[in-house]
Homo-oligomer: A and B are copies of this chain.
Amino acid sequence: MAAAVESFAAKGFHGTTTRDIASGAGMSPAALYVHHRSKEDLLYEISRAGHERTLALVREAVGTSRDPREQLLAVVHAFVVHHAEDHTGARIVNYELAALSPEHLEEIAAIRRQIEQEMRDVVERGVAAGVFATPDAHMTALALLSLGIDVARWYRDEGDWSPEQIADHYSDLALRIVGAVPGGNTGR
């Protein structure tokens, strides 16, 4: 599976051959089929595990506080760090959905909707509490997720910024994006 993640992320699902994966894992092509039903099934397993991990990470971040401002900071920070550190896995999660079978795609899409819902809830709770100000919580939540997801596209290990640095800056941007009122109880 690790070899498949590497190949799928670098060359895409269709650009990867079963022989690529096998040689990356130090095996013969036939050995793959002892553990996985098909190449598509391998993608599905990777994608599902990745999505579940992301959802768990988002929920965990939201759970660290009851203050919307703190929740926002925690969730954006964790989300961005994850998309930078695990950009390999995150690329498959976000950019290889079209290669999934219709049934598998629907299952994955359901997890994605839950992730989006978590972010939307955070923004809406902040607006309701009067600590955030935005004309459209739905689109604003989408923008916050966008920012994090796109990190997986452009992040390079050899780049100038560490995942932590990016996450710190993006957490700051997140407060601005939701129109957080100045003077929240803590600045981290």
Chain A residues engaging chain B, CB cutoff 8 angstroms: 10-15, 94-95, 98-99, 135-136, 139-140, 142-143, 146-147, 149-151, 153-154, 161, 166, 169-170, 172-173, 176-177, 179
| B14 near A169: Cβ-Cβ < 8 Å | no
Closest residue on chain B to residue A139 by CB atoms: B169
Residues of B within 8 A of A142 (CB): 154
**Which of B11, B13, B136, B172 makes the CB contact (< 8 A) with A98?**
B11
Residues of B within 8 A of A10 (CB): 98
Residues of B within 8 A of A136 (CB): 169
CB distance from A138 to the nearest CB of B (A): 8
Residues of B within 8 A of A15 (CB): 12-14, 98-99
Closest residue on chain B to residue A133 by CB atoms: B176
Nearest 10 A/B pairs, CB to CB:
A14-B14, A146-B150, A14-B15, A176-B176, A150-B150, A139-B169, A173-B177, A12-B14, A146-B147, A12-B12
| A143 near B172: Cβ-Cβ < 8 Å | no
Besides A10-B98, A143-B173, A146-B154, 18 more A-B contacts (Cβ < 8 Å) are A11-B14, A12-B13, A12-B14, A12-B15, A13-B15, A94-B153, A135-B172, A139-B166, A140-B173, A143-B147, A143-B169, A143-B170, A146-B147, A149-B150, A150-B150, A173-B177, A176-B176, A176-B177
Among A95, A169, A170, residue most surrounded by chain B Cβ atoms (within 10 Å): A169
A128 vs B161: C-alpha distance when bound (angstroms):
23
| A147 near B149: Cβ-Cβ < 8 Å | no
A169 vs B140: C-alpha distance when bound (angstroms):
8
